[in-house]
Amino acid sequence: MQGVSLEAVRKVYGGTAVIDDLDLEVEHGEFLVLLGPSGCGKSTLLNMIAGLEPLSGGRIRIGGRDVSDLDPDARDIAMVFQSYALYPTMTVRRNIGFGLKMRGTPRAEVERKVAEVADLLRIGHLLDRRPSELSGGQQQRVAIGRALVRQPRVFLFDEPLSNLDAKLRADMRVELKRLHERLGRTMIYVTHDQIEAMTMATRIVVMDRGRIQQCDRPEAVYDRPANRFVASFVGAPTMNFLDGRLVPADGGVGLACGGMVIPLPGLEPPADGSQGRPVTLGFRPEHVRVAEDGGPGAFAARAVMAEPTGPDLYVLLATEAGEVTARMAPDRRIRRDAPLPVRLDGGRVSLFDPADGRRLA
């Protein structure tokens, strides 16, 4: 096993388990993103992998070696912090070389490796500056350089882009992804930003309240969320949810909800999908299609508000079943309160159990 393996990992603070019996296998060379709201335990988990936070139970293996009781510097990992945590009194050169120096690397070799990394990250001209003289993006590069220079087996990132402005964040996303492809090392990346997770991850682990909610490829997490929490956390604008009962409609099934039936053509009903079962229907704004000419599956709605974002137009619709957000082409003219019948792409919707939120279909 070349990657990182967590086995029944637990963390208890004062009697409360913030991480509860968590198992996770990270393949070698994977870009794994731990995604979740603040307080879900993702940062704690990362700190435990780093060795900064002792385990309350379970084992952690890195590259097949049990590191559960090892100090951070013996684990063959490097970490990039949200605050960058650059040493304020050291120049960039000494910041990057500090880890090598602490390991007794000969000075000439430190110099050579620092220069190499600085070259790769295009910060060669900044080597003699202090962190306070750098911009946020430059500090970020230095922090990444400090991790790169030691060529660890695993890179850990703790929300490294949250302190950057939006434009820079998008640039750094691309850069990190490129870096991952180039180095081929395992990266574990903590974020609460689902765009970062979707764009960079080879696999996403969605966490909530100390448990893994879903662990899958980004497309799968987006298209087939394992439960209602994942469905609502991933995707912006968020998924629409309607509570109702499954009923027969137009030769398939539909959702009876608030005095109307929404047909769901193309939906495979769940195995235990007995008619009349209460379900929560979830569908993303892009799965609402305009059906101006009526036709099969169409139901009545009227536009309440339009939100143009540039490439897309999000329209808030009022239906008898409740309010629903739909994505439409940006050139569509929306008249407030005008009727705008729509239909749902039944093959793309999700059904959740209203009681425990798990996915039914």
* Interface with other proteins (CB under 8 A): 47, 50-52, 71-73, 77-79, 81-83, 85-90, 98-99, 102-103, 146
Contacts 24+ apart (CB under 8 A), 268-276: 268/361, 269/361, 270/351, 270/360, 270/361, 272/360, 273/246, 273/351, 273/360, 273/361, 274/246, 275/246, 275/247, 275/248, 276/245, 276/246, 276/247
Minimal distance, residue 29 CB to other proteins, in Å? 21
Nearer to other proteins, 50 or 92 (CB): 50
Minimal distance, residue 150 CB to other proteins, in Å? 8
Minimal distance, residue 64 CB to other proteins, in Å? 21
Nearer to other proteins, 72 or 273 (CB): 72
Nearer to other proteins, 104 or 311 (CB): 104
Nearer to other proteins, 68 or 280 (CB): 68
Minimal distance, residue 52 CB to other proteins, in Å? 5
Q: What are phi and psi of 160, to 5 degrees?
A: -70, -20
Nearer to other proteins, 152 or 235 (CB): 152
CA distances from 205 to 45, 62, 134, 211, 350 (A): 12, 18, 33, 10, 19
Minimal distance, residue 186 CB to other proteins, in Å? 16
Nearer to other proteins, 88 or 311 (CB): 88
Minimal distance, residue 207 CB to other proteins, in Å? 21
Minimal distance, residue 278 CB to other proteins, in Å? 47
C-alpha dihedral sign at 88, 93, 96, 100: negative
Nearer to other proteins, 85 or 220 (CB): 85
